Amino acid sequence: MSRRRIAFTTTVVIIVVTTAWLVPLPTALQMRDWSDSMGPWFPLAFLAAHVVITVFPFPRTAFTLAAGLLFGSILGVAIAVVASTIAAVLALVLVRVADWRLSRLVHHPAIESVDSTLRQRGWSAVLSLRLIPAVPFSVLNYASGASTVPIVPYTIATMVGLIPGTAAVVILGDALTGNISPLLAVVSLSTASLGAAGLAYEIRRHRRQNASSTETNSEPAVGA
């Protein structure tokens, strides 16, 4: 790095640290009071911003945490789940409008087999993956759009799968105002376990189907 770049970076860091030190930041309770004072339009504006931004690869957790902080557990969960579901469907539709289908981009028997499974039971895989917090939200949206999973089962599986993990993060955001719930860790651990178990089942089922189809194709024809 040049001396000029080092000096510029150092100056920026000093300014940011000094500003954070001197400027008083609002507390969680002050932010909740500010949200309540904005009126009934503010939750709708937050939902719209949530949808538009999380269609793109922006961390959804920031909005989910903010929903709990600003609106509380009940309204926060409703806003976060509805907004995330709409964003997930829009992302899938955009990928398909762009015609970025996996079967068109890559021609391989394994890809065709996975694509066929997603077409028939894609909702189960989507549901299992939505229950696992470590699976990136945007990546699953785009991957589902590139597959042939039907949109209605995808939408239902997305909404159902998002509820537990979203509720856990929203409760965490609400806890920042002092409303601490002991169910937070239980919900997070339970949903991740269910998602991993469901995904493992789908993987084993897909492998068994491939094994049986391979054995059938390898049997000699009668009278040969």
The whole domain housing 126 covers 26-215
Q: Tell me, yes or no, whether 143 lies in a domain.
A: yes
Is 7 a domain residue? no
Q: Write out pLDDT tens, residues 133-165.
A: 777 888 888 888 888 788 998 999 999 888 888
What pTM does this model have? Answer: 0.67
Domain presence at residue 142: yes
46-56 pLDDT tens trace: 999 999 999 99
Give the type of residue at 44.
L
Whether residue 39 is contained in a domain is answered as yes
- Residue 61's identity, in one-letter code, is T
Residue 191 or residue 101, greater confidence: 101
Question: What mean pLDDT do residues 199-222 have?
Answer: 57
- Total domains in the chain come to 1
Q: Is residue 181 part of a domain?
A: yes
On whether residue 163 sits in a domain, the answer given is: yes
Q: Which residue has the higher pLDDT, 92 or 133?
A: 92
2 lies in some domain: no
Write out pLDDT tens, residues 153-196.
899 999 988 888 888 888 877 777 665 555 555 555 565 566 56
